[in-house]
């Protein structure tokens, strides 16, 4: 299954190769041309000579994780965190580098912690990865500073949900891949970008390589719908449909384009919800202001426990996310909206 292959692959910021190769292989029969730019963004064009409206789709290939910063004399690995909540780091299984060296994030045993330590989360600089090495020399044979560290968390289905790592934003990558498999009456550019999780960096470059009339940015976003969350704090509720962005930390989405998206959803009976938080940023920020300004629509799948090894999406949301993306692109390309 494609979503399993995408989420089981590792793609830390700057090391998106594994994910990119899967995507390339998957979309090759359906696009006219594709290339990887200097930063690693994969850009593919379908119907390259079709006149009329040109829509671009963007999703990021990278995921949150850790990066090896130092190997100490006893062979323990110290690391930086890229977008991961430090409180969830202890006692995780991780995979380091291309060879997927196994490690665990070790901590002091609870027996040895004083009462105050027990009430506090350990900061990243107190944590380490144990790869079973007994000396620096032994560890250095397997790992070197700069290696990426991904969570070891396999794709699992249960009930209406799926659990995996990196659903933010492999769900977006999946939507674009599926899109490319259909035929369209117009030109379509797909951007699979790098380094979103470390500051929306890949899209700074991709935004200037495309010249689309409209960009649809596809994301995995926050679902806050679990116990003890007050009604007004539910950023998105799983099962209520894909989430439409109005405002976030890096963009305001223009009303005209939001209205066009809801029009398509209403017409096709696809459920949707609005994203009810302004925290978090997306690549939309860079597309919005590229060239003389480009309209951007933001659509996302709500993920529980996002930025952790065990993020969860609802299968129905994922299905409606793909459906709405496709209907919107068709309607826009045919000039039915906007």
The minimum distance between CB 171 and other proteins, in angstroms, equals 23
Q: How far is the CB of 200 from other proteins (least distance, A)?
A: 12
- Comparing CB distances to other proteins, the nearer of 113 and 278 is 278
Q: Which of the residues 276 through 295 are near other proteins (CB under 8 A)?
A: 276-278, 285, 288-295
* Inter-residue contact 299 to 18 (CB < 8 Å): no
Binding mask 175-214 for other proteins (x = CB under 8 A): ----------------------------------------
* Cα separation, 293 vs 156, whole angstroms: 41
- If the CB atoms of residues 262 and 268 are measured against other proteins, the closer one turns out to be 262
Interface with other proteins, residue 238, by CB under 8 A: no
Nearer to other proteins, 284 or 324 (CB): 284
> In this structure, are residues 57 and 207 in contact, taking their beta carbons and an 8 Å threshold?
no
Residues 29-68, mask of contacts with other proteins (x by CB under 8 A): ----------------------------------------
Q: Which is nearer to other proteins, 115 or 292 (CB)?
A: 292
β-pair partners for 252: 247
110, 147, 228, 278 from 78: Cα distances, Å: 21, 11, 35, 33
Kindly state the number of chain residues that form the binding site for other proteins, as judged by CB under 8 A: 24
DSSP-based three-state secondary structure for 330: helix
How many CB atoms lie under 10 A from the CB of residue 2?
14
Positions marked catalytic: 196
Q: What residues have CB less than 8 Å from 196, skipping those under 6 apart?
A: 13, 60, 62, 169, 202, 203, 282, 283
Rounded to whole angstroms, how far apart are CA atoms 179 and 92?
A: 35
Binding residues for other proteins restricted to 242-261, rule: CB under 8 A: 246-247, 250-255, 258
Q: Which residues here bind other proteins, judged by CB under 8 A?
A: 231-232, 246-247, 250-255, 258, 274, 276-278, 285, 288-295
């Amino acid at each position: 299954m494609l979503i399993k292959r995408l989420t089981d692959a590792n793609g830390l910021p700057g090391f998106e190769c594994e994910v990119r190769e899967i995507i390339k292989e998957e979309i090759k029969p359906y696009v006219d041309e594709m290339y990887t730019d200097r930063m690693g963004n994969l850009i593919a064009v379908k119907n390259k000579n079709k006149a009329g409206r040109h829509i671009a789709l963007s999703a990021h290939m990278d995921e949150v994780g850790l990066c090896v910063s130092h190997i100490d004399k006893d062979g323990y690995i110290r690391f930086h965190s890229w977008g991961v909540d430090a409180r969830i780091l202890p006692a995780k299984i991780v995979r380091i580098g291309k060879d997927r060296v196994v490690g665990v994030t070790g901590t002091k045993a609870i027996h040895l912690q004083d009462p105050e330590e027990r009430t506090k989360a350990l900061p990243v600089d107190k944590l380490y990865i144990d790869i079973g090495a007994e000396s620096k020399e032994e560890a250095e044979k397997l790992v070197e500073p700069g290696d990426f560290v991904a969570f070891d968390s396999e794709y699992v289905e249960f009930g209406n949900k799926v659990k995996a790592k990196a659903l933010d934003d492999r769900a977006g990558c999946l939507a674009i891949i599926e899109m490319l498999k259909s035929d369209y009456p117009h030109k379509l550019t797909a951007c699979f970008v790098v380094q979103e999780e470390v500051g929306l960096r890949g899209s700074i470059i991709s935004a200037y390589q495309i010249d689309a009339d409209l960009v649809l940015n596809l994301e995995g976003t926050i679902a806050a719908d679990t116990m003890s969350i007050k009604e007004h704090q539910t950023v998105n509720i799983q099962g209520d449909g894909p989430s439409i962005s109005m405002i976030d930390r890096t963009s305001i989405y223009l009303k005209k384009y939001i209205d066009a998206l809801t029009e398509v959803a209403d017409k096709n009976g696809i459920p949707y919800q609005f994203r009810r938080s302004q925290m978090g940023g997306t690549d939309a920020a860079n597309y919005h202001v590229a060239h003389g300004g480009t309209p951007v629509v933001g659509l996302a799948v709500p993920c529980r426990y996002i930025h952790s090894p065990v993020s969860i999406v609802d299968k129905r949301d994922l299905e409606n996310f793909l459906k709405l993306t496709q209907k919107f692109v068709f309607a826009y390309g045919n000039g039915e909206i906007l």
